[in-house]
Amino acid sequence: MAEVASPALSQAPMLQLHQLNAWYGESHVLHGIDLRVMKGEIVTLLGRNGAGKTTTLKSIIGVMSKRSGSVKVQGIETIDLPSRKIAKLGLGYVPEERGIYASLSVEENLMLPPRVKDGGLTVSEIFTLFPNIKERLSSQGTKLSGGEQQMLAMGRVLRTGADLLLLDEPTEGLAPIIVDQIGLALKELKKRGFTVLLVEQNFKFATQIADRHYVVEQGKVVDQATNDDVLRDESKMLKYLGV
């Protein structure tokens, strides 16, 4: 399979996976994932349920019981590093379930994660990106809508200094107006030089924001395409997704 040209081939990739394998206990789930993401790119992992997209993100942050192969973050090999050291390279993971602490207020949730790197967004920059968070600052985590939880989960990670964001289905279950807000925030973050790898089932959303796409099937990357190619002919990609 030929590599799709990236906009900035001269730089070291922000993230590069080579022959990444991962296991849940005895269960071998990833079978040699190869992909790379350049600084400032928004790249998606597309594929059917159970293909291994979430597991790929979990393997990048080093929380699987076993993984092998190569995971380089800005050229640094992380395959033998513990997850807390990997996070310090600037990784910010937002899981599908968003991980908002129900017993804490929005403000407490926002301030909770430790900084991983210099240059995190200030609280006021986070409010500009996600005004809803400011309005709900003293609310309890449990009182938030799904969209507010997603924005808080993203804002929280941006405060830590993470500049490589790993987002698992950020738009899942959200109203179209909130999906649009998340899309605008991601475009703004891209302008500021953030790099994003996201798992996305919402094909329309994915093609509105992404530069490139990888298709995952049975724990492997089986195809890739630039967003321009996908927009020219959606049929191949939709076939992979069974749409």
To ligand ATP, the closest distance from the beta carbon of 241 in angstroms equals 11
Q: How many helices (H) and strands (E) does the chain have?
A: 10, 10
Contact 221, 35 (CB under 8 A): yes
Please say which residue, 53 or 212, places its beta carbon nearer to ligand ATP.
53
What gap in Å lies between CA 229 and CA 222, rounded to an integer?
16
- Please tell me whether residue 55 binds ligand ATP under the rule CB under 6 A: yes
Return the residue of 29, 35, 42, 86 that touches ligand ATP, per CB under 6 A: 29
Compute CA 132 distance to the chain's CA centroid, rounded to the nearest angstrom: 21
Contact 18, 69 (CB under 8 A): yes
- Please tell me whether residue 173 binds ligand ATP under the rule CB under 6 A: no
Indicate the residue type of 187: K
Candidates 44-52, 105-113, 120-128, 230-238 — which segment interacts with ligand ATP by CB under 6 A?
Answer: 44-52
Return the residue of 15, 43, 44, 47 that touches ligand ATP, per CB under 6 A: 47
Contact 127, 56 (CB under 8 A): no
- Residue 193's Cβ-side half-sphere holds a number of Cα atoms within 13 Å equal to 7
Interacting residues with ligand ATP between 76 and 135 (CB under 6 A): none
Return the residue of 50, 75, 82, 173 that touches ligand ATP, per CB under 6 A: 50
To ligand ATP, the closest distance from the beta carbon of 73 in angstroms equals 20
Please say which residue, 33 or 110, places its beta carbon nearer to ligand ATP.
33
Please say which residue, 53 or 213, places its beta carbon nearer to ligand ATP.
53
- Please tell me whether residue 170 binds ligand ATP under the rule CB under 6 A: no
Return the residue of 1, 2, 27, 118 that touches ligand ATP, per CB under 6 A: 27
Q: Convert 132-165 to b/e letters by CB count within 10 Å (16 or more is b).
A: bbeebeebbbeebeebbbbbbbbbbbbbbbbbbb
Candidates 13-21, 36-44, 47-55, 184-192 — which segment interacts with ligand ATP by CB under 6 A?
Answer: 47-55
Candidates 12-20, 24-32, 116-124, 155-163 — which segment interacts with ligand ATP by CB under 6 A?
Answer: 24-32
- Please tell me whether residue 54 binds ligand ATP under the rule CB under 6 A: yes
Please state, in angstroms and as integers, the Cα–Cα distance from residue 142 to each residue in 87, 100, 103, 109, 176, following that order.
27, 8, 7, 11, 22
- Please tell me whether residue 49 binds ligand ATP under the rule CB under 6 A: yes
What gap in Å lies between CA 224 and CA 230, rounded to an integer?
10
Q: Residues in the site for ligand ATP, rule: CB under 6 A?
A: 24, 27, 29, 47, 49-55
